[in-house]
């Protein structure tokens, strides 16, 4: 769950054989929200995009599950820079209204955290 760990996942996706890649993808998709969390990290963004792209040619069912996972966490992905890149690469980009709503929610969360810490 770190940016550097996501970079290792990306390398594994690019260099392992198909059976290992499918097993790794299944493991990632088995944890709800993990793909979205990866997509919000600097090195996780390319890993998430690579994961979904590789599954498109490899396993239609897993590919659909990965796209559904990304779509289910669209608000989380849309609330961060790298997540928006993932959404764009998957053709799941948010509308301007959804982007504004996600930004407003993030600002409200930061304000609540600042008040709680003060």
| Per-residue pLDDT reduced to its tens digit, 33-68 | 999 999 999 999 999 999 999 999 899 999 999 999
Provide the pLDDT for residue 77.
Answer: 95
pTM score of the predicted model = 0.75
In this predicted structure, the answer to whether residue 14 has a pLDDT above a threshold of 60 is: yes
What is the average per-residue pLDDT within 61-80?
95
Mean pLDDT of the chain: 88
Q: What is the maximum span of the chain, computed from C-alpha positions, in angstroms?
A: 52
Q: How many domains does the chain have?
A: 1
Provide the pLDDT for residue 97.
Answer: 56
Which position has the token pair 């769950």?
Answer: 1
For residue 31, the enclosing domain spans 3-117
Residue 118: strand, helix, or coil: coil
């Amino acid at each position: 769950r770190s940016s550097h760990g996501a970079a290792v996942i990306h390398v594994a996706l690019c260099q392992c054989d198909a059976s290992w890649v499918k097993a790794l993808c299944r493991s990632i998709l088995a944890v709800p929200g993990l793909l979205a969390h990866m997509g919000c990290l600097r090195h996780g963004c390319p890993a998430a995009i690579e994961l979904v792209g590789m599954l498109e040619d490899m396993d239609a069912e897993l590919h659909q599950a990965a796209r559904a996972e990304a779509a289910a966490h669209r608000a989380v992905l849309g609330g961060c820079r790298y997540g928006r890149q993932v959404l764009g690469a998957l053709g799941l980009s948010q509308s301007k209204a959804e982007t504004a709503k996600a930004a407003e929610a993030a600002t409200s969360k930061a304000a609540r955290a600042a008040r709680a810490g003060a």
